[in-house]
A and B are shown apart, each in its own frame.
Chain A
Amino acid sequence: MKFFVILLLFISILFANSNSLIEQKKASKIEKKDTLVEENFNEFDDFENEFSENDKLTEEVFDPLYSYNNWMTGVNDYLMINIVEPQAKVYRWVIPEGGRTSVLNAFKNLYFPVNFANNILQTKVENAGNETSRFLLNSTIGILGLFDVADSWFGIKPHVEDFGQTLGYYGAGSGFPVVLPFFGQRNVRDLFGTFADSYIDPIYYNDWRFYNTAEPYWHSVLLKGYEDFNEYSLTPEAYEKLTADSIDLYPFLRDAYEQYRNQLIKE
């Protein structure tokens, strides 16, 4: 009798256990399913977080000049496709690629005071030193900057910095977007940066300075235009191809510009 009682007890315990085991299994199955769903969410959240910072900027973009910017982007787009691109075609045909690359190099070389000053302002002393070496090498051996020998012979890479980046480096926000005629997308911070840089940028005319490339001020603006045009000629049809996919051109360029500048500031 005692044996039976023990057996019964044993069996009941077994069943009870197995019952709870089944329940446990069920529960774990449900739990598993839930965590699976959650995991999926977490996985996407993980991706979402990578974009959230920039998403926020777009969501809350402060764009008081929206109508003008939108319109000016349309005008610039028209000019790019109908005037700049056809002109660039002719220009490419007249001046060989080597010549155009040298023009680009010469312009870049002239930015030395701007690059140097802004590297110093961001306490990037080594980069400022590299810029100095580049300027000295390219202006002499590289014949007034026509050839970038500093990079091709000595492997000294450029470190381009402007005052807009310096402001960003110290935490200044971008203000709001402004689209310039011909020159395109900018923001208030970078416009102010260009203005500040123009005091030492040799291409802009300054009365008090001993070095000037262009005499009256408006010649400087023409030179700037030529610089951009020449650079554009080296990447044929790039503008048209890159903007072809945009859903809405102005927001596309506005966003791309901000992402690009933020990256430059971070580096």
Chain B
Amino acid sequence: MKYLFKYILLAAITVLLPSFVLAQDSEAEQVKKVMVKTTKNFYDILNDKNNNKKIRKQKVLNEVGPLLDFNLMARLALNKKTWKSISKSQRSKFSEIFIARIKKSYLDKLDIFSDIEVVIENSKRVKKNRIEVTALLKTKADTKKLVYKFYQTKKKEWLIYDISIVGVSFLQSYRSQFSAYLKNNSFDDLIKKLKDSSVPID
């Protein structure tokens, strides 16, 4: 009886442990698959000349948008110290302007992608709740490394919170610029500046 119990336990471990480990890997694999599919859809939309530019932009946003956690991006564009020091209304105003701005600047750059090939390479779990998907950006001059950084939300979804190209993090660039700007200017100045210097739409 004692032995039977031992064997059952051993059997359970041998069956469950690998499947647990595999399940962890399969999640990274799943995220990669989503990126491969999204990239394909992205280029399909871009190359579909039946639609005009405006419709293409909207379609791209609908395709890519759900994968990005815009609110978290806005939260992380400022460091903790700044975030604590501003009022609630300033927070929501900043988020609103920042999100609109990054959406617009991304959509205005879609033209660049017609000369670039994006190849999703691999995915890796870097932490329990973080997965990084690496892609190659093949331009005519060279190949650059692109990393999509995913985190797992409380609802167990995987969303992108940062993107880095050749080691330059999108959020880090904003953090650095904002904190440099806020050294000599007030937060309201920043909001005003963000509004004024909005990227022109073509």
Measured CB to CB, the residues of A under 8 A from B are 44-45, 47-48, 51, 54-55, 58-59, 97, 101, 104, 231, 234-238, 241, 244-248, 251-252, 255-256, 259-260, 262-264, 266
A58-B167 contact in complex given A48-B79, A97-B140, A247-B194, C-beta closer than 8 Å: no
Residues on A with beta carbons closer than 8 Å to the beta carbon of B112: 237-238, 241
With A234-B141, A259-B169 as known contacts, state yes or no: A51 contacts B180, CB within 8 Å: no
Which residues on the A side are within 8 Å of B108 (C-beta)? 241, 244
Chain B residues with CB under 8 A of A246 = 177
Q: Is the CB of A248 within 8 A of B179?
A: no
Interface string of B54-93 (1 = CB under 8 A from A): 0000000000000000001001100110000000000000
* Contact between A248 and B181, CB atoms less than 8 A apart: yes
Interface, chain B (partner A; CB < 8 A):
72, 75-76, 79-80, 101, 105, 108-109, 111-112, 115, 139-141, 151, 161, 166-169, 171-181, 193-194, 197, 199-200
Pick from B140, B141, B172: contact of A255, CB under 8 Å: B172
Question: Which chain B residues border A251 with CB–CB below 8 Å?
Answer: 176-177, 180-181
Q: 7 A–B contact pairs at CB < 8 A?
A: A44-B75, A51-B171, A241-B108, A246-B177, A251-B180, A260-B167, A263-B168
- A110 to B: closest C-beta gap in Å: 16
Q: Which residues of A contact B173 (CB under 8 A)?
A: 252, 255-256, 259
Which residues on B sit within 8 Å (CB–CB) of A104?
141
With known contacts A238-B112, A251-B177, A260-B168, A51–B76 Cβ distance under 8 A: yes
Q: For the complex, what is the distance from the CA of A145 to the CA of B72, rounded to whole Å?
A: 47
Across-interface contacts of B176 in A (CB, < 8 A): 54-55, 58, 251-252, 255
Which single residue of chain B is at the shortest CB-CB distance from A104?
A: B141
Main secondary structure of the interface of B (DSSP, over half): helix
Instruction: Knowing A51-B175, A264-B167, say if A247 contacts B115 (CB, 8 Å).
Output: no
Q: Indicate the member of B72, B141, B171, B175 with the most A CB atoms within 10 Å.
A: B141
Q: Which residue of A lies closest to B116 (CB)?
A: A235
Q: Which residue of B lies closest to A47 (CB)?
A: B76
Instruction: Tell me, in angstroms, the Cα distance from A83 to B68 when the chains sit together.
Output: 38
B140 to A263, Cβ gap below 8 A? Answer: no
Q: Smallest distance from the beta carbon of B77 to chain A beta carbons, Å?
A: 10
The 4 nearest A-B residue pairs measured at CB = A263-B167, A234-B141, A255-B176, A58-B176
Check if A247 sits within 8 Å of B76, measured CB to CB.
no
State the CA gap A251–B101 with chains docked (Å): 19
The distance from the CB of A244 to the nearest CB of chain B, in whole angstroms, is 5
Q: Which residues of A contact B79 (CB under 8 A)?
A: 48, 51, 55
Q: A235–B139 contact, CB under 8 A?
A: yes
Residue with the highest number of chain A CB atoms closer than 10 Å, among B139, B176, B193: B176
